Amino acid sequence: MYSQKSLNTDEIHHKHMLDRSEIPALFSSCLPKACIFTSIEKLRPYECDAYTAYRSLPLAVLLPETKQQVIDIVKTCQKYQLPIVTRGAGTGLSGGAHPIENGILLNLSKLNQIYEINHELQYARVGPGVRNLAISEAASTYDLYYAPDPSSQIACTIGGNIAENSGGVHCLKYGLTVHNILEITFVNIDGEVITVGSECYENPGYDLLALLTGSEGMLAIMIQAKVKLLPKPANKEVILAAFNRIEDAGEAVANIIASGVIPAGLEMMDQAVIQATENFCQAGYPTDAAAILLCELDGFDEALQWEIQQVTQQCNQCHATSVRKANNAQEQELFWKGRKSAFPAIGQLAPDYLCMDGTIPRQHLAHVLGEISNISERIGLPVANVFHAGDGNLHPLIMYDANNAGELDKAEEIGSQILELCVSVGGTITGEHGVGIEKLNQMCVQFNSQELIQFEQVKLAFDPERLFNPGKAIPTLQRCAEFGAMHVHAGELPFKDIPRF
């Protein structure tokens, strides 16, 4: 798809405007000429991340090969007031790495060294361009692995994972990225190198490690991370349960957790995704089911057998049509291959889709899935559902054809209503994909003006000139008022004494 829609950058203001032809000379002392891209042909692959609804070209793409080059680039950008958008593999799904037309796109993919695997203290020290899966591959020699495993783990980088606080199918038991990071070394807007966190599990003072994890590149540029490694589980089993009603599958999820079982992973797929995935990679899914649950359990044998019994019992009580355990490691891998192939498999059903990301309390799964179906029918575009059911992290896939006038607008409207539905039941507009440019309006729904002002004050404490990833994640109060999600008194915005940002 190539969308002609362009990002509205009216809210992004900068002091200096440079011409693209000036960029090579500006950064010639920072890095080799071969690492500076300014031609349209070389910029085109960077015009968006995996959120493709909007596209624009940056002034230049810079590919540093060392930490010192990153520092020099930041200092030059600060001197000339050039915005910096940091990018990893470009697998982000909310436009967090969308380039700024009068700014620099900083690609950290060449900082891809694994500096250390410490099997005794169980950590890895890596550069931001290291692929998620590569960490586990390097640690496997010591029977260790890195737990967060987004579906894009074969390609996505640890720097991007930290920026978005990525999860994956095993985040229910082992946590998101924020729960698996020990240290972050970053470059601030002044070009200073700072390390936060430690090998200890508790640190005194402000939790800057957690603040930076999920900050979407708006506060600093990460150049190194120390990540937690875990021992590979002694044993694991994968159960596939099929249901004739998606509401029954949703009820089974809540009951499994209520029974005291915390699965390593608990995923749900609806019929559209099941059929597309089965056709795509022959994972062995029952194509006549309205929904399936994939439940992975791990641990030692005695506890594992009890958990298998509990999961089977809860699924049967919720009218599962079949409950079966993978016969061997190969079948377990095939079940998960199907789940991780779900997004590309949907390409068989529509030329384009928007992948949304909202999180709700588990007890509202059945209600919210029913409402998503109603929204889909009312607006007139199909929606397929595949998601991390165990922690209520939804990923509705809204299918459309960008070549048909108005369908992208319809898809965005469905996505907007789904996210607002999530907020209405006590949930949030993102679980792991971030806000980026996609969900700026829904930030106005979830947070009030005082909270948004506080977010902006945190941003300004790190980046007073707003050069790091401007226009992302934090909407202006003006935008919220125009969106209609903030009350306006007598034609004036609230907190009029606070400068507009």
Q: What is the per-residue pLDDT for 14?
A: 53
Q: Is residue 496 pLDDT above 80, yes or no?
A: no
Tokens representing residue 114 in the block: 């694994």
Q: For strands 104-107 and 84-87, give the pairing.
A: parallel
Q: Running DSSP on this structure, what letter comes out for residue 227?
A: E
pLDDT tens readout for residues 149-159? 998 999 999 99
Q: Helix H segments across 168-245?
A: 171-174, 208-212
Specify the range with the lowest mean pLDDT, choosing from 170-179, 413-422, 480-489.
480-489
Alpha-carbon gap, residue 383 to 227, rounded angstroms: 36
Higher-confidence residue of 366 and 172: namely 172
CB-side neighbour CA atoms (13 Å) of 232: 11
Backbone angles phi, psi at 469, to 5 degrees: 45, 55
Q: CATH number of the domain at 235-344, out of 3.20.20.70, 3.90.1150.10, 3.40.50.300, 3.30.70.2190?
A: 3.30.70.2190
Domain boundaries 350-424, CATH class = alpha beta
Q: What is the per-residue pLDDT for 11?
A: 53
Q: What is the per-residue pLDDT for 201?
A: 66
What Rg, from alpha-carbon coordinates, does the chain have? 23
- Location of each CATH 3.30.70.2190 domain in the chain: 235-344
Q: Is residue 494 pLDDT above 50, yes or no?
A: no
pLDDT tens readout for residues 255-298? 999 999 999 999 999 999 999 999 999 999 999 999 999 999 99
Helices 246-258, 365-379: crossing angle, 10 deg rounding: 150
Domain boundaries 114-231, CATH class = alpha beta
> Considering only CA atoms, which of 195, 263, 241, 160 is closest in space to residue 469?
160
pLDDT tens readout for residues 32-78? 999 999 999 999 999 999 998 889 999 999 999 999 999 999 999 99
Alpha-carbon gap, residue 268 to 295, rounded angstroms: 9
Answer whether 375's CB lies under 8 Å from 414's CB. yes
The residue whose two tokens read 């608990």 is 266
176: Cβ contacts below 8 Å, ≥ 6 apart: 148, 165, 166, 167, 432
- Location of each CATH 3.30.43.10 domain in the chain: 20-107
- Location of each CATH 3.30.465.10 domain in the chain: 114-231
Q: Is residue 359 pLDDT above 90, yes or no?
A: yes
CB-side neighbour CA atoms (13 Å) of 377: 6
pLDDT tens readout for residues 73-96? 999 999 999 999 999 999 999 999
Residue 364 burial (CB count, 10 A) = 19
Q: What is the per-residue pLDDT for 485?
A: 60
Q: Which whole number is the average pLDDT over 435-464?
A: 96
Q: Is residue 490 pLDDT above 80, yes or no?
A: no
Give CATH for domain 20-107: 3.30.43.10
Answer whether 151's CB lies under 8 Å from 342's CB. yes
